[in-house]
Amino acid sequence: MSEPPVLDSPEAIEAHLSESIARADRGRRGVRFVLCDADNRVRLHCPVDDLPPRSDPADCAHTISVFAGALIASEPHGALLVALTRPGSSAVQDVDRVWFHSAYEVCAKMGVRLLGIYLMTPTDQREILLDDAL
């Protein structure tokens, strides 16, 4: 059995997401929570599929808090990675900004390390940065 990947750099995160999320899944509206241990080793992928085109901030916060709570219960010093999937271009859209802000707010409130928020489309992938979310 191979060792789980360690997400210890942006390059490692991008390579892992590229290898683990199929191109067909990238074209669906969804979010994938990657739960990692204290050493940033991947423990579990938790996909949430069929999201609406527009997301309410309260709904996003609730969804994130469910997975952040599960992480705290199983890996108190673990980390969370969020990957958004959707059709279209990799230009950051309003819905991506809602998920970005919700993830940072929830994780800060719950004391969960957030490894980043990535956008995955059928043709591209990128990290969403603060400048993108303003």
Classify domain 10-132 at the CATH class level: alpha beta
Q: What is the pLDDT of residues 10-43, one digit of tens each?
A: 999 999 999 999 999 999 999 999 999 999 999 9
90: DSSP letter: S
Tokens of 4: 């789980």
Residue 7 pLDDT class (50, 70, 90 cuts): very high
CA 119 to chain centre: 8
Say what the pLDDT of residue 132 is: 80
Say what the pLDDT of residue 1 is: 62
Say what the pLDDT of residue 2 is: 82
Q: What is the pLDDT of residues 28-84, one digit of tens each?
A: 999 999 999 999 999 999 999 988 888 899 999 999 999 999 999 999 999 999 999
Say what the pLDDT of residue 52 is: 83
Say what the pLDDT of residue 75 is: 94
Q: Report the first-to-last Cα separation within the chain, whole angstroms.
A: 43
Domain ranges of the chain: 10-132
- Of 131 and 116, the structure prediction assigns the larger pLDDT to 116
* Nearest residue to 96 via CA among 63, 60, 124, 67: 60
Residue 113, helix vs strand vs coil? strand
Q: For 95, phi and psi rounded to 5 degrees?
A: -65, -35
